[in-house]
Amino acid sequence: MKRQRHLAVFLFLSSTVFAADKRPEIEDSINVTVVGTLRTGIIAIGGETTGTTITAKGITWELDLGKKAEIRQAAEMLTGKKVIVRGSLERRKGVEVQQRWIVSVTGLQVTDGEIFKSPNGKIYPSHWGAPPRAQTRDLRNLPGGFGRGSGTLAKWIQENLNRDTERKGDD
C-alpha cells in the first residue's frame, strides 16, 4: 500500500515536470513608454545608429522604427516635437559606443493631439491640426499627394501648404 502511494506520487510529480517542460518559455522583456523629444536624421561614425532618437530627462535612447512605413513617416513629420513612444527596450553591443540602448517602437503619437491621415493614408503634418469635419461630396485629386477627397479637403490642404511655404520663406 505504501509502495503504491509512493509510486503514484512519483508518477504524478514526474508527469507534472514533463508537462512543465512542454510550456513555451517566456522571454525577459522591458516594455517602456517614453515621453520626450524625437529627433530623426541622426548620423554616427561607422553608421552605428538607428538614425532616430528620443530624449527625456537628459537621457537619450535610439529608436528602432522597424519596417512599418506608417511609423517611419510619422517620425519624420514629428522630428523636434514632444512625442509618446511605446516599445520594448533592449541593450545592443556597439563598437564606438559599448552599450546602445534601443527602443523597438510599437507605437508613436504626438503629445499635443492626434495624428490625422489623408484618404490615402498619408499623415498630415501635426501643426495643421484636424481636417474639416463637414465636407462636400465631390471627389477630386488632392494637392500634395494626399490622394483623392472632397473639394473642402482640397482647399484645406492647399491653404496649409501655402502657409507652410510662407513660413519657409520667412526663415
pLDDT for position 71? 86
Strand partners, 102: 62, 90
pLDDT for position 117? 82
Q: Domain 31-110 is of which CATH architecture?
A: Beta Barrel (2.40)
DSSP letters spanning the chain: -HHHHHHHHHHHHHHHHHHHHHSPPPPP--EEEEEEEEEE----GGG-S-SEEEEETTEEEEEE-TT-HHHHHHHHHHTTSEEEEEEEEEEEE-SSSSEEEEEEEEEEEETTS---B-TTSPBPPGGG-PPPSS--S--EEPGGG--EE-HHHHHHHHHHHHHHHHHHHH-
Residue 129 has pLDDT above 60, yes or no: yes
pLDDT for position 107? 85
Break the chain into its structural domains and give their ranges: 31-110, 126-170
C-alpha cell at 118: 489623408
HSE-up of residue 27 (Cα within 13 Å, Cβ side): 5
pLDDT digits (tens, 9 = 90+) for 13-60: 555 444 445 667 888 889 998 889 999 999 887 788 999 999 999 999
pLDDT for position 141? 96
pLDDT for position 16? 47
Q: Is the pTM of this model over 0.85?
A: no
